[in-house]
Amino acid sequence: MTELELKQEVERQFNLLKRGCEEIINEEEFKKKLGKSIKENKPLRVKLGIDPSGTELHLGHAVPLRKLKQFQELGHQVDFLIGTFTGRIGDPTGKSETRKMLSEEQIMENIKTYLDQVALILDLDKINVVYNADWLEKLSLTDVLRLLSMFTVSQMISREDFAKRLSENKPVSLIEFMYPILQGYDSVELHSDVELGATEQKFNLLRGRDLQKNFGQEQQICMIMPILEGLDGVEKMSKSLNNYIAVKDTPNDMFGKIMSISDELMNNYYQMITEVPMEEIERIKENIENGSLHPMEAKKQLGMEVVKIYHGEKAATDAREWFENVFSKKNLDVDLPEMEVKYGETGVIELLVNETGLVKTTSEARRLIEQGGFKINDEAVKDVKAVVNIESGMIIRAGKKKIVKIK
């Protein structure tokens, strides 16, 4: 390979991997690492660590996983680290209170479901799955004290979430101070060339660079990924906020949820959760602005792109047809998502909030009903005090994009 060809290949890989990143620390170092990797035919070691604190992955989790897939397809080594040790502590990032420690049994149970879902994005046969308990449990007290000596209290409390809690007289445990240090030590153990993490993880990723320097290693590149906004366009995507799309959602649910987002979110979603080339995304944006493409059509294309990634092209086409039948043509003679709800009489607000969970709050339910957005068997119910008799086959619609059939 000539010097010109090498330079061109570095730029090609760099531009591909830079897409969707919030920040790369630092870009020139990264290009040098890519150049050395290509020249010596030695893949970079790319690390992404996750703590199995839950059981369901959503498209926000998929953002760094899909970046890992790009590294994988370029021939680099992916170290998919599962925090079997750090998971017991729980990452304090963004938390307003100390997290409860998970048991080993909880962690192992969560790992099983995590890997099943990760397999929808990454080829598990081509990644190196590692568990940090394998080395962190072996650290002696002397080793731990040595690690602690490399950092100061002022460094730790400079972290925004720690500083905020301390200013509010909320406790921050010493074990939480250990979390970013242990995460950083994972990079030392793995000799990581690159580590991926969300913007809120930046402090932790930089500790990996610090420790690698202290241990005489070449410092890793920190690839900071943006946090995906949830369906509400306000908070980050989160299961607890019920504003998420799960990677194991059905094609119809996945497509329907995409159709519920605001037009303003579309461009961000195109960039972060699809494989559509950037030039095409720019063209879509321009066509919406000049009026040659309706935002609704652009959103349907987005929905199809997302469904295609997780379920295939036919499922994407079928999901679009289903959506158009139900929500555009109002044809309810199709398969609808079903839900088990206790039969009998119940208030409409109770039905929306607690029985079906179609809306999150009483005030949201009240507003939806008063505006005529709540329908039973396609008949609007506008009385917030109405009582309905729940029975099998009943079709409940909440707003334009949410519809369920009672089993």
User: Domain of 394: which CATH number?
Assistant: 3.10.290.10
- Residue 332's pLDDT band (boundaries 50, 70, 90)? low
Q: Are 284 and 315 in contact (CB under 8 A)?
A: no
Average pLDDT over residues 123-149: 93
What is the predicted pLDDT for the residue at 173?
82
The most confident of the ranges 72-76, 104-108, 151-155 is 72-76
What is the predicted pLDDT for the residue at 96?
45
- Please report, as a single letter, which amino acid is at residue 389: N
Both tokens of residue 111?
């790992």
* 14 inside domain: yes
* 66 inside domain: yes
Q: For residues 315 and 342, state if they share a domain.
A: no
Q: For residues 178 and 306, state if they share a domain.
A: no
What is the predicted pLDDT for the residue at 241?
79
* 343 inside domain: yes
Alpha helices in 74-223 (DSSP H): 86-89, 104-118, 133-136, 141-148, 153-157, 160-167, 174-190, 202-214
Q: For residues 167 and 285, state if they share a domain.
A: no
Which domain-ending residue is among 269, 293, 328? Answer: 328
Q: State how far the Cα of 32 lies from the Cα of 36, in Å rounded to an integer.
A: 6
* 245 inside domain: no
Q: How many domains does the chain have?
A: 3
Q: For residues 211 and 69, state if they share a domain.
A: yes
Q: For residues 276 and 402, state if they share a domain.
A: no
What is the predicted pLDDT for the residue at 54?
66
Q: For residues 104 and 158, state if they share a domain.
A: yes
Nearest to 45 by CA among 181, 196, 179, 184: 196
pLDDT in tens, 356-375: 888 878 888 898 898 888 88
Q: For residues 177 and 261, state if they share a domain.
A: no
Nearest to 302 by CA among 316, 323, 286: 316
Which domain-ending residue is among 328, 362, 379? Answer: 328
* 263 inside domain: yes
Does residue 108 surpass a pLDDT of 80? no
- Structural element, H or E, at residue 271: helix 263-273
Q: For residues 268 and 219, state if they share a domain.
A: no
Q: For residues 344 and 373, state if they share a domain.
A: yes
What is the predicted pLDDT for the residue at 91?
55
Mean pLDDT of the chain: 88
Does residue 24 surpass a pLDDT of 50? yes
pLDDT in tens, 275-314: 899 999 999 999 999 999 999 999 999 999 999 999 999 9
What is the four-CA torsion angle of 382, 385, 390, 395, rounded to 10 degrees? Answer: 20
What is the predicted pLDDT for the residue at 161?
80
Q: For residues 367 and 260, state if they share a domain.
A: no
pLDDT in tens, 236-266: 898 877 788 999 999 998 998 999 898 999 9
Which domain-ending residue is among 302, 328, 354? Answer: 328
What is the predicted pLDDT for the residue at 316?
96
CATH number, domain of 96, equals 3.40.50.620
What is the predicted pLDDT for the residue at 29?
96
Neighbours of 108 (CB within 10 A): 12
26: preceding bond cis by omega (within 30 degrees): yes
Does residue 396 surpass a pLDDT of 50? yes
Does residue 10 surpass a pLDDT of 70? yes
Nearest to 68 by CA among 57, 77, 55: 77
Under 8 Å CB-to-CB from 113, ≥6 apart: which residues? Answer: 55, 56
pLDDT in tens, 81-106: 998 888 776 555 544 444 566 677 77
Q: Facing residues of 380 across strands?
A: 375
Average pLDDT over residues 110-119: 84
Percent of the chain with pLDDT over 90: 51
* 232 inside domain: no
Q: Are 230 and 219 in contact (CB under 8 A)?
A: no
pLDDT in tens, 170-226: 888 888 888 899 999 999 999 999 999 999 889 999 999 999 999 999 999 999 999
Structural domain of residue 383, as residue ranges? 338-406
Both tokens of residue 53?
């604190």
Q: Give the pTM.
A: 0.76
Percent of the chain with pLDDT over 70: 93
Q: For residues 157 and 17, state if they share a domain.
A: yes
Q: Facing residues of 198 across strands?
A: 225
Q: For residues 23 and 169, state if they share a domain.
A: yes
* 367 inside domain: yes
What is the predicted pLDDT for the residue at 391?
86
Alpha helices in 57-158 (DSSP H): 59-73, 86-89, 104-118, 133-136, 141-148, 153-157
* 97 inside domain: yes
